[in-house]
Amino acid sequence: MTTTNACSLFVVFLLAVPSATAQLTCSPAPCVTENVQVSPAAPNITTAGMVLAASPVSGSQDLAITSNYLVNMSNCYGSAGNSSSSAVFLSTDLGSAWLGGCQPPSGSDVGPQYDPIATYDQAGNLFSGQLGSSMTENVFLQALLTGSDSWENFFSTLSYTDQATEDFYDFDFPGMAIDNNLATPCIYVTAWVLGLSLGDSSRTVSAVVVGHSCDGGSTWTTQRVSNILSAPSFAVYPRITVSQNHTVVAVWVQLRNSSTAQIYESSSDDFGSTWSTPAIVLTLNMTRPANCENNPHVDRALPNTCVRMFYFPQVASTYFNSTATTQTEAVFPSYKSPNIAINYSASSNGTTWSRPIVLSSVAADQFEPCIAANPANTEMLGVAWLDTRNSPPSLPDTLYDAYGVTSPDGGSTWSAAYRLSSLSGGTEVETEPNSQYLGDWTGCAWQNNIFYFAYPSTANGINQVATIVGLNP
């Protein structure tokens, strides 16, 4: 691999050294660990949009959280050509103590980058990425190699496809997965692209692409996995997972109107070289538009608030030892008046999915779910989300908490819903008037048989911080 622009951890982490520590192990099971504050609490810092990664190395206690990280609602460094709007936080003791702050910039910087992604390979190297710095650049990965104290900003991952017919110029909303069941892991990165039709420059087009590298990141190949859609239809918000038998499954949302959307899927059995024809696998309902003048996504606001929220699936893969088969799982929010519920669905072949089931039926709204499979027990799943059930009846959706469930058998049965947050957060923490931002997604992962959930908390009353909690089932 090529290594350039090494950045010292001292420089990267200078802005933020979280002070809170706690013990994120508990017994006897089932039990919920203490909530640990990961990012610093300050009136001018907003931490949201978290991804949680866990090292698969045997005996490792390493965890990493990447997030959108906004200082004064701007970028971390503030100087042109040296800016980032992402952060990475590291723990080497199962999340009890954290060190972290601004992530190094991506590419030749002309502005801030957002939407971080993260995963560990089988050697314990951390790959962390974010969107590129301009519309001509894409999704960049940086590596923190095992035993190193500096990041290596060394490769971009995606390229634009269909350039003969479409002028794609912008990537957004990346996701990442890694196949560690190989001598050299294969890394997969997905994003949706936006552009204009070369046949009609006034026609906006979009598509979902996946890039893969099976040589440690040295070379990348990009494939378009969705159809090319023309506005007002859009292909957006992709996520990706890879199974123990190396099947890669990408899912995304296709928006056609403000009330309903379809979840599409495409899969690859040859390490990302070719992909199946995209197919509708699930349908979801979205909330009615909100009256939020500064929220750019009023058609997807949390009810009774101006909190931006997105309807998209998070995905995982389990492996059943008794039958040597794999299964893909998805969780997603879906609106059925009067509330949003978290739905779960599973597929053995990627194209035929089970009827969605509601994981926790309450008279409240539930949003920003995540799902993770336990690598130490490959049939075990965990799902966590944000939930407004503890809001006063007269003030719906004003408070939110973290909740979670686990399944020992690939989703056939589920535990009761556990409250994971020790204190409720409030949805009225504003980034600007009438535009609350809790982030578009949360992160979860298993480490040492504990299901960890990283989420934004506003419970301290100062501003929202990255918080982690564990559930030992």
Task: Give the pLDDT confidence of 241-277 residue by residue, as tens digits.
Answer: 999 999 999 999 999 877 789 999 999 999 999 999 9
* Per-residue pLDDT reduced to its tens digit, 443-464: 999 999 999 999 999 998 767 8
374, 380 Cβ separation under 8 angstroms:
yes
Domain assignment present for residue 201? The answer is yes
Q: Over the stretch 90-141, which tens digit does the pLDDT of each residue have?
A: 999 999 999 988 877 765 555 557 888 999 999 999 999 888 766 556 888 8
pLDDT at 430 over 70: no
Q: Which of 80-84, 121-125, 434-438 has the highest mean pLDDT?
A: 121-125
Residue 193 belongs to a domain? yes
Dihedral sign for Cα atoms in the order 226, 231, 233, 239: positive
4 within some domain: no
Is residue 28 packed enough to be buried (19+ CB in 10 Å), middle (13-18) or exposed (0-12)?
Answer: exposed
- pLDDT tens profile 315-361: 999 999 999 999 999 999 999 989 999 999 999 988 899 999 999 99
From the list 128, 41, 51, the residue with the least C-alpha distance to 84 is 128
Contact 347, 355 (CB under 8 A): no
Classify 10 as helix, strand or coil. helix
- Of 345, 221, 219, 335, the C-alpha closest to 287 is 335
Q: Check if the beta carbon of residue 392 is closer than 8 Å to that of residue 400.
A: no
235 within a domain of the structure (yes/no): yes
Angle (CA) 326 327 332, round 5°: 155
This prediction has a pTM of 0.93
Would you call 469 helix, strand, or coil by DSSP? Answer: strand
CB atoms within 10 A of CB 448: 16
> Does residue 187 belong to any structural domain of this protein?
yes
Could you tell me the CATH number of the domain that includes residue 184? 2.120.10.10
Residue 274: domain span: 157-285
Is 215 within the bounds of a domain?
yes
C-alpha separations of 205 from 162, 311, 456 in Å: 11, 20, 33
How many helices, marked H, and strands, marked E, lie in the chain? 1, 32
Asked, for residue 279, whether it belongs to a domain, the answer is yes
For residue 459, being part of any structural domain is answered with no
CB atoms within 10 A of CB 221: 14
Specify whether the CB–CB gap between 129 and 160 falls below 8 A.
Answer: no
- The SS3 assignment for 468 reads strand
Q: In the structure encoding, which two tokens stand for residue 43, read together?
A: 């009136």
How much is the CA Rg of the chain, to the nearest whole Å? 20
Q: How many domains does the chain have?
A: 1
Place of tokens 């939020």: 292
